């Protein structure tokens, strides 16, 4: 992980950011670490690009295995400054690819697999409302329970409608039930690489130091 702080202002920041996210998850792969949403599993396969496997969400691919020996595929799209809006062309493209993977039953198991969008900063509304909406989808056992929680809060319903309206531009047949199942295996992650005082970078550098210390201790 480079310590250069001006790469974003000089251009090429998106590529640099993607490289740093790749590096972070390669560290997890080396040490057998976990990934968000799969805390009882560890990474057993790492690929920087997964388009050759047939996936549309193709910036990073991980295969994980859990304590019950169940395998999970995790797909990442990494976009440094992604704006989550119906009017944002890049967001529509990213969501279209995620939806195509979700619907591809030959490659994606929606009971086990995950699709993640990674960005550098979540807005306050995204933290307070979108992340909560996605969390509720994973905790609720039925569509009605999920909608009862979401629809009573306007700011959260706006995000539900944003995703539904955007997806219906791609697939007019998208139903609330399908969207609920999509939310169960979908999330948006924040890694603040690119900031001088990056918490994410400090976290992963600490993992490296701890792993080195453990290896040295074991070797004695």
Q: What is the pLDDT of residues 163-190, one digit of tens each?
A: 999 999 988 999 999 999 999 999 999 9
pTM confidence score: 0.88
Contact by Cβ (8 Å): 90, 129 = no
The pLDDT of residue 138 is above 60: yes
Q: How confident is the model at residue 4 (pLDDT cuts 50, 70, 90)?
A: very low
Residue-level pLDDT at 49? 87
| CA atoms of 176 and 144, how far apart (whole Å) | 10
The pLDDT of residue 108 is above 80: yes
What percent of the chain has a predicted confidence (pLDDT) above 90?
A: 72
Residue-level pLDDT at 176? 97
Residue 30, token pair as written in the block: 């080396």
Residue-level pLDDT at 195? 84
Query: Which residues partner with 72 through β-bridges?
Result: 64
Average pLDDT on 102-116 reads: 97
Average pLDDT on 133-151 reads: 97
Helices 154-168, 131-139: inter-axial angle, 10-degree rounding: 80
């Amino acid at each position: 992980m480079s310590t250069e702080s001006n790469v974003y202002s000089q251009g090429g920041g998106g590529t640099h950011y993607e490289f740093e996210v790749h590096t972070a998850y390669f560290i997890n792969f080396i040490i057998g670490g976990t990934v968000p949403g799969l805390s009882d599993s560890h990474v057993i396969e790492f690929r920087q690009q997964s388009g050759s496997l047939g996936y549309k969400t193709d910036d990073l691919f991980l295969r994980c295995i859990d304590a019950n020996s169940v395998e999970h595929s995790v797909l990442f799209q990494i976009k440094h400054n992604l704006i989550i809006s119906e009017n944002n062309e890049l967001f529509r493209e990213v969501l279209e690819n995620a939806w195509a993977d979700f619907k591809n039953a030959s490659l994606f198991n929606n009971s086990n697999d995950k699709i993640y969008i990674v960005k550098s900063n979540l807005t306050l509304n995204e933290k307070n409302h979108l992340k909560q909406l996605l969390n509720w989808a994973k905790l609720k056992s039925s569509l009605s329970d999920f909608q009862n929680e979401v629809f009573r809060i306007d700011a959260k319903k706006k995000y539900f409608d944003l995703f539904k309206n955007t997806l219906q531009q791609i697939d007019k047949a998208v139903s609330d039930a399908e969207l609920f199942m999509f939310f169960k295996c979908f999330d948006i992650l924040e890694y603040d690489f690119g900031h001088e005082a990056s918490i994410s970078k400090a976290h992963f550098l600490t993992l490296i130091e701890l792993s080195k210390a453990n290896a040295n201790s074991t070797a004695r």
